[in-house]
Structure 1
């Protein structure tokens, strides 16, 4: 709760998502919040807890979700699994079925960190990712795949225009983009 009370919403949401992902109940976070901080900090922290999801698998996904909600996108289905005639394709970070849009935060750690590559070279990971995305794009229900990176989800970043260009409803500018 210290992070939710003291830091920007992006960092706070990333921490709240990670805590929920580890199995700590949201009610425990609410109880902790009730015992601390100023009224203004409580309001901000409560907003973060309302958006928090155990389905976000990285800080990048958390911040992407925050920006999408801040610009007025409808809630997405997180970690939706896709299949084609060849079998499972995999999970995507965010799925907007009404618009046929997938949003995949593209963190670079999966390419750079050997422990994340399961013994594969960075080149093999890039090729596998390209094949996966080609399979997703070939599905009739998928119209667009949006792949923001860190600079796209920062203040002044391209994510709102990327979402709009993909056909998602973007009703307003980002009020308070996270600063990492």
Structure 2
């Protein structure tokens, strides 16, 4: 079976699909070393300047980040970009006097952002009530340790599909939109889509 290389597939997804799908695919490919950022950029360069979807593909490649750990984190970043929320740092590690607290999904100075998917609270199959309680208690203790250091904003999938809800959650914790996007260097034309 003939298939296209991962970088080409990502660019095709962007040109003929959605920014969300393309960024999710690009993040996955980068995270699993299926291609490099340079290979993604080279594929975009092969698309003629005025071809359909080139600008979207350029934006998708510019937004791609191999530190993104899930489709929900990728979609969160796409929504943040669209909402003019300042670009967060990804997978920032937090520690306290007791040691490693955890790596957070998103970080802005003074605020952590966390997508709350069900996997975070997944109870192993066949677990006892005691084991289930331990999973939930461990997550609560981690949250308590984070909250002693910073604000914590949490959202779920339904907040992502209602962007103004995501914006309100972030604003409540001090992360507010900018007048214009600062996700890309002003000299970099790749952020136009």
TM-score, normalised relative to structure 2: 0.76
Aligned residues: 164
Q: Secondary structure, in 3 states, of the residue corresponding to 2:101?
A: strand
Contact 1:163 1:170 in 2 (8 A): no
The 5 Å alignment of 1:27-66 reads 27-36=38-47, 39-66=51-78
> Of 49, 68, 87, which residue of structure 2 is paired with 1:75?
87
Q: Deviations over 1:37-62 (max 9, x none)?
A: 87231110110110110110101111
Q: Give the gaps of 5 or more residues in structure 2.
A: 1-10, 180-193
Q: CA deviation at 1:75?
A: 1.6
Change (3 A) 1:50 1:105: same
3-state SS of the aligned residue for 1:79? strand
Q: For 1:34 and 1:136, how far apart are their aligned partners in 2?
A: 43
CA distance in structure 1 between the partners assigned to 2:114 and 2:161 by the alignment: 16
Which residue in the other structure is 1:176 paired with? none
Q: Distance in 2 between matches of 1:113 and 1:31?
A: 43
Displacement of 1:111 after TM fit? 2.7
CA distance in 2, matches of 1:63, 1:44: 15
Higher mean C-alpha deviation, range 148-157 or range 42-51: 148-157
Task: Supply the distance in 2 between the matched residues of 1:133 and 1:111 (Cα, whole angstroms).
Answer: 13
User: Cα RMSD (Å) of the superposition?
Assistant: 2.3
Determine the structure 2 residue equivalent to 1:7. Answer: 17
Task: Describe the superposition over 1:131-170 as per-residue Cα deviations: whole angstroms up to 9, x where unpaired.
Answer: 101000112xx1x101111111114451011111111122
Gaps of 5+ in 1: 173-180
Counterpart mapping for 1:3-152 below 5 A: 3-23=13-33, 24-36=35-47, 39-97=51-109, 100-112=110-122, 114=124, 121-139=131-149, 142=150, 144-152=151-159
